[in-house]
Amino acid sequence: MRLALENIGLSLGGKEILSDVSFTVEDGQFVSILGESGAGKSTTLKVVTGILPQDAGRVTFDGVCVDDVPTHRRDVAMVFQDIRLFPHMSVADNVAFPLRMRGVSKAERQRVADEMLEAVRLEGFARRRTFELSGGQQQRVALARALAARPKALLLDEPFSGLDEQLRDDMRRLVTALHERFSITSVMVTHDPDEALVMSDLVLFMSGGRLIQAGTPREMLLSPAHEAVRTCFNDSSAIQGDVADGVFACGRLRVPAPDVADGPAVLVRVPGRVPFVHALA
């Protein structure tokens, strides 16, 4: 699904939250929305779902305006930061819940639940209660539930924020694999610039309720158009990847490395300097 926001404006309690926000997510793209707290990132996702109706502009799916379409009929799924599983239900019933609301037969619900639990690597967990699971396992159940109804777009609101670094890495790989397996349009809100760089086809940087730059991971890293973007992507950090034929690659991030030998390498970002690639011995 091709998802577009056109000149979106929204105020809450007399305060402007979003101002003239426009962007397009092409069918099958993975897009990250990045920015400081209060930038309007999560609010933007809620406008896409219809949870918050905008005051100005319009939202289109495949070129068709959906402003008058209620949330439950927009055919998008959202994974919230706080997960929102049902503790009184089994894992399988949580996953199958969207299908139950659609009147799908019990046998088909069970089949889809089993398929989705396999997809998120939770085979054998169907009969457990959600409170018996770890945080990472609960997040996987939330992903399985979101995908069970085969939505046209998957929205992720800081899905890894409560996980430790190892679990975050595991979940990043899982979400990327699911995105590719189901060829689904995906939009993720994150505070983590590295996450945005390695997972995304397109990065949207928001500040103060406005979209101040949109670009590929390479463009955001090497050609920041605003000081806030430069600061975000040039904080001290290192990303491990590989160099082949003069190009450093990690996930969807591609950066020229013409003088670096093929093999394992690290992209180094130091404040005040242009990022550079260093081969690992």
**pLDDT one-digit tens code per residue, 80-131:** 888 789 999 999 999 999 999 999 999 999 999 999 999 999 999 999 999 9
pLDDT tens for residues 192-216? 999 999 999 999 999 999 999 999 9
pLDDT grade for 237, boundaries at 50, 70 and 90? confident
Dihedral through CA 274, CA 275, CA 276, CA 281, nearest 10? Answer: 150
Q: Pick the more confident residue, 236 or 76.
A: 76
DSSP H helical ranges for 62-210: 91-101, 106-119, 135-148, 165-182, 193-199
Sheet holding 15-25: strands in order across?
15-25, 3-12, 56-61, 64-65
Evaluate if residue 39 carries a pLDDT over 90.
yes
Q: What integer is the mean pLDDT of 52-76? A: 96
pTM here is: 0.92
Task: Output the pLDDT for position 83.
Answer: 79
Q: Which of 112, 76, 73, 72 lies closest to 92 in space, CA to CA?
A: 112
Instruction: Report the length, in residues, of the chain.
Output: 281
28-32, 84-88, 183-187, 271-275: least confidently modelled range:
271-275
Q: Answer whether residue 281 shows pLDDT above 70.
A: no
Q: What is the pLDDT of residues 246-262, one digit of tens each?
A: 999 999 999 999 999 99
pLDDT at residue 219 in the model:
94
What pLDDT, on a 0 to 100 scale, did the predictor assign at position 205? 98
- Cα distances (angstroms) measured from residue 202 to each of 24, 125, 191, 214: 10, 35, 15, 7
Average pLDDT in the chain: 93
Instruction: Spell out the domain ranges in the chain.
Output: 3-233, 237-279
| Domain at 3-233, CATH from 3.40.50.300, 3.40.190.10, 2.60.40.1080, 3.40.630.10 | 3.40.50.300
